Structure 1
Amino acid sequence: MSTGTTIEAGEAAEAVIPELVIISGMSGAGRSTAAKCLEDLGWFVVDNLPPALIPTMVELGARSQGNVARIAVVVDVRGRQFFESLRESLAVLDAKQVTRRIVFLESSEEALVRRFESVRRPHPLQGDGRIVDGIAAERDLLRELRGDADLVIDTSSLNVHELRAKMDAQFAGDEEPELRATVMSFGYKYGLPVDADLVVDCRFLPNPHWVPELRPFTGLNEEVSGYVFNQPGAKEFLDRYTELLELVATGYRREGKRYVTIAVGCTGGKHRSVAMSEKLAARLASEGVETVVVHRDMGRE
């Protein structure tokens, strides 16, 4: 939601205060996941910003000429002085009529112990004691902040995808979460891309490398692309694989996955995979998927 309140009355250019969300809660309850979800929804996210600097961050956002309309700040309360600083900042924000919400991530002791033990890390407040001692100290320290929270999410029985779904329900509005795709051509002789989510093989198509007049060019050349897509099965493959990706994309959105890398390979990564990647990316873009094309091996000999 937006507000027309200004930082300073009488400024030459009216500065619109951005919407603010403060994310806090128990360590291990999912603060980072909640912050990442807001980041994927287009929020400007700052992790572990000292609470005393929150009003300054809001003021800077107000002077960004609308480029920073929504700010999310993750605060990690580990001491009484830190907590008092946060309360002072909240009072400043309220005095300036900043539209702000506090999201508090909660979880049961059993779930938190299990999570800390699974990553083999101590609780930040346990000191020389046990994990449960750190959890108890943090819960006592955050009790008042939890009471002031606008939204409390208990993540005891939630996985990452379910937590993302809850955040989407609160902050995405009626907009469907965006999916961003990278379509990457590559050559098998140079190895598989390590960051690929999906890999497809174009080596079933005849290789333009063996056509002397096409060999010097790449799949970006119209003659090479025409040669590739005039081969039996090429257009049908593009059609059917696009349909499959539409189904996969729907599932990715439902599960909260925002980014996907689709690797398209041929022998050298110069002809067939490049031509197919270009066509595939155009199809995805026409379906509303934000798409980037990368030709990893096109310049290699």
Structure 2
Amino acid sequence: MTAAATAGENGEFLIVTGMSGAGRTTAANALEDLGWYVVDNLPPQILAPLLDLTDMGGANLPKVAAVVDVRGRSLLDDFPGVASALRSRGSSVKVLFLDASDDVLVRRFESVRRPHPLQADGTLLDGIRTERSRLAPVREAADLLIDTSQLNIHQLATQVSDMFSDEDAARHRLTILSFGFKYGLPTDVDLVADMRFLPNPFWNDELRGLTGQDEQVRDYVLSREGAAEFLDAYAAALQPVLAGYQRENKSHSTVAIGCTGGKHRSVAMAEELARRLSGTPGVALNVKHRDLGRE
């Protein structure tokens, strides 16, 4: 069971709050990547109507997160009472509080050269201490606490993903894309592999009119010298890459597999590579053939 427990038919409702500079935006983005509907800068008094909409939305709004912060000024004073009232309704309402030490928050504000929202005519530290005092009851009422003092944005996003993703949900989506070099390199890809080291079935009269999705072509390509060795080595090389992408919270990547026309070798090798990578923990696979329908 994850930290965000399932709430039956009402879904999940998460309130994200905490110190300015502690990572609320990063946490909100991570939740969006997990499929949550995120509402930012919401006054606490609007939480109850939002929860009503969530309940009415049913399956259309199964997971909703509301970001509440000090920009609400005096409105935040009502937060503990609002949170308690929401919990009393029997809905799955949880509060996530993000915190960090004063010295870390000062460095973060200085690095972006922005004043603290409660700084006024004082120093950064004055603003941070004022906010910490005002948020003390909110922190006390929180269900979940993350101290981000020692976390970078990628580590924080990963921690949020670990806390709120479904146990079996994929954390990275890998697209394996076949293509033909004669039609140009695909854009927006992370890795490219060239299958033109293998004999081209195009020069075989019996295979020319078929594609890499046909058994005859697939068997021909995979049986050529070097094909199995490449697949073994490339699949093994991608395993630490995919694991690293997940640690760095990179949610999507594309591996392009090319041959001359994108019809035979690249198609067969892309599908076999996908087969070998299936079952990789945390990875959902998608195979696309960009140039398969071209003449």
* TM-score > 0.5 by shorter chain: yes
What pairs up with 1:11-30 in 2 under 5 angstroms? 16-30=9-23
Match of 1:162 in 2: 155
Give the unaligned 5+ runs of structure 1. Answer: 5-15
Counterpart check, 1:296 vs 2:257: no
Q: Which range moves more in the overlay, 63-72 or 178-187?
A: 63-72
SS for the counterpart of 1:27 is coil
Compute the displacement of 1:92 (Å): 3.7
1:101 Cα deviation (Å)?
2.0
Distance 1:255 1:55 in 2: 35
Aligned letter for 1:90?
A
Query: In 2 relative to 1, CA 188–89 (structure 1 residues): closer, same or farther, beyond 3 Å?
Result: farther
- After superposition, residues 98-137 of structure 1 pair within 5 angstroms as 98-121=91-114, 123-125=116-118, 131-132=124-125, 134-137=127-130
Distance 2:89 2:119 in 1: 37
Contact 1:104 1:146 in 2 (8 A): yes
1:272-291 matched pairs, under 5 angstroms? 272-287=265-280, 289-291=283-285
Q: 1:21 offset after TM fit, Å?
A: 1.8
Asked whether the equivalents of residues 78 and 138 of structure 1 are also in contact (C-alpha less than 8 Å), the reply is no
Amino acid at match of 2:52: E
Residue 199 of structure 1 aligns with an amino acid whose one-letter code is V
Offset, 1:93: 0.8
Q: What residue identity is the alignment partner of 1:236?
A: E
SS at match of 2:146: strand
Secondary structure of 2:26's match? helix
Q: Secondary structure at the match of 2:38?
A: strand
Kindly state the Cα deviation for residue 283 of structure 1 after the two structures are TM-superposed: 3.1
Cα distance between partner residues in 1 of 2:132 and 2:178: 50
Structure 2 vs 1, CA of residues 253 and 224 (structure 1 numbering), >3 Å: closer, same or farther? same
Are residues 132 and 242 of structure 1, via their aligned partners in 2, closer, same or farther at CA, if it must alter by over 3 Å?
A: same
What is the distance in 1 between the residues matched to 2:293 and 2:18? 49
Q: Which stretch of structure 1 is more off in the superposition, 280-289 or 233-242? A: 280-289
1:290 Cα offset (Å): 1.7
Contact 2:38–2:66 under 8 Å retained in 1: yes
Q: Please give the residue correspondences for 1:1-301 in structure 2 after superposition, counting only pairs within 5 Å.
A: 1-3=5-7, 16-66=9-59, 68-84=61-77, 86-87=79-80, 89-121=82-114, 123-125=116-118, 131-132=124-125, 134-168=127-161, 170-172=163-165, 178-188=171-181, 192-211=185-204, 214-215=207-208, 218-287=211-280, 289-299=283-293
Equivalent residue of 2:139, what SS?
A: helix
Match of 1:10 in 2: none
Q: 1:75 to 1:243 in 2, by over 3 A?
A: same
Q: Is the 8 A contact 1:80 1:141 kept in 2?
A: no
C-alpha distance after superposition, 1:254-280 (max 9, x if no partner): 554443322222344343222222222
- Percent sequence identity is 51
Relative to structure 1, the CA distance from residue 131 to residue 220 in structure 2 (aligned partners, 3 Å threshold; closer, same or farther) is: farther
Given that 1:45 and 1:73 are in contact with CA atoms closer than 8 Å, whether structure 2 keeps it comes out as yes
Q: Secondary structure at the match of 1:232?
A: coil
Question: What residue ranges of structure 2 are gaps of 5+ in the alignment?
Answer: none
Aligned-residue offset at 1:78? 0.7
Give the Cα–Cα distance (whole angstroms) in 2 for the partners of residues 263 and 122 of structure 1: 45
**Secondary structure of the structure 1 residue equivalent to 2:70:** coil
Distance 2:266 2:120 in 1: 55
Most deviating of 216-225 and 123-132 = 123-132
Q: Give the deviation of 1:22 after TM superposition.
A: 1.0
43-52 or 101-110: which moved more?
Answer: 43-52
User: Which shifted more, 183-192 or 197-206?
Assistant: 183-192
The alignment partner of 1:139 has SS state of helix
Shift of 1:79: 3.3
The answer to whether the 8 A contact 2:43-2:72 is kept is no
Measured on the aligned residues, the alpha-carbon RMSD in Å equals 3.5
Partner deviation per Cα, 1:18-60 (whole Å, 9 max, x = no partner): 2322111123211122233344455443333443333233233
Contact 1:52 1:88 in 2 (8 A): no
Letter aligned with residue 115 of structure 1: R
Could you tell me the TM-score, scaled by structure 2's length?
Answer: 0.77
TM normalised by structure 1 equals 0.76
